Structure 1
Amino acid sequence: MIHLDTSFLIQALIPGTPQDRSLRKWIREGESLAVSAIAWAEYRCGPLQHEELAVAEGFLGRCRDFTRDDAETAARLYNESGRRRGSLADCMIAAAALGDGAALATANVRDFRPLRDFGVTVAD
């Protein structure tokens, strides 16, 4: 299973991007794709066209709820990775992926690099 981060979702809908190519490959291979409720909320806050939303909803397997266990994991990630300003949402998205035992696809690998030491795997 692969969880998609907000940045990945945005870039995957632009033809020819590395994220577009990765998404197409994963769909061809039958990879299970999901998005956390946190990433979905961020995505929905962007300037979306109706068609883009329909495409994203079409390839996503599910939108994963954010649980209390996820909240505990996110807090641990945030506190143990240096309490970086603006990183709480990333920690929440990573926690949901960890909760599913999933890799995380992102266009902003740098944002998630500090979380690798805590078991977060970034999908290629």
Structure 2
Amino acid sequence: MIHLDTSFLIRALRTGTREDRQLRGWIRTGEPLVISAIAWAEFRCGPLEPEELSLAEAVVGRFRDFRLEDAEVAAKLYNDTGRRRGSLADCMIAAAALADDASVATANHKDFLPLRELGVTLAG
């Protein structure tokens, strides 16, 4: 199972990008694709064309709620990685992925690198 980060989904919707090729490969092999409510909210903040929204909805296999347990894990990730400015949403996305024993697909690997030491795996 792979949780899609906002940055990955945005780039995957552009034909010919590395993320587009990765996404097509996962779809071909039947890899379960999930997006958390946090990443989906970021994505919906746009800018976003109606066609992009329709395509994203068709690609994502499951939308995952963000729960209280996820919030607890996200806070721990945030605190344990130095309370980096702008990293809370990434910690929330990572917490949802950890709860599902899933990898995170992101186009911003550097943002998630500190989380790898805490058990977060990156896809691709």
TM-score w.r.t. length of structure 2: 0.99
Alignment of 1:71-90 (within 5 A): 71-90=71-90
Distance of 1:97 and 1:80 partners within structure 2: 17
Distance of 1:103 and 1:38 partners within structure 2: 16
Q: CA deviation at 1:108?
A: 0.1
Alignment of 1:1-124 (within 5 A): 1-124=1-124
Structure 1 portions without partners, runs of 5+ = none
Q: CA deviation at 1:62?
A: 1.1
The DSSP-based 3-state class of the residue aligned with 1:120 is: coil
Deviations 1:36-92 (A, max 9, x none): 000000000011111110000001111100001100000000000111011000000
Distance of 2:89 and 2:59 partners within structure 1: 23
The DSSP-based 3-state class of the residue aligned with 2:117 is: helix
The DSSP-based 3-state class of the residue aligned with 1:118 is: coil
Corresponding pairs, count: 124
Q: Which runs of 4+ in 1 moved over 4 A?
A: none
Structure 2 portions without partners, runs of 5+ = none
TM-score w.r.t. length of structure 1: 0.99
Q: Percent identity over the alignment? A: 69
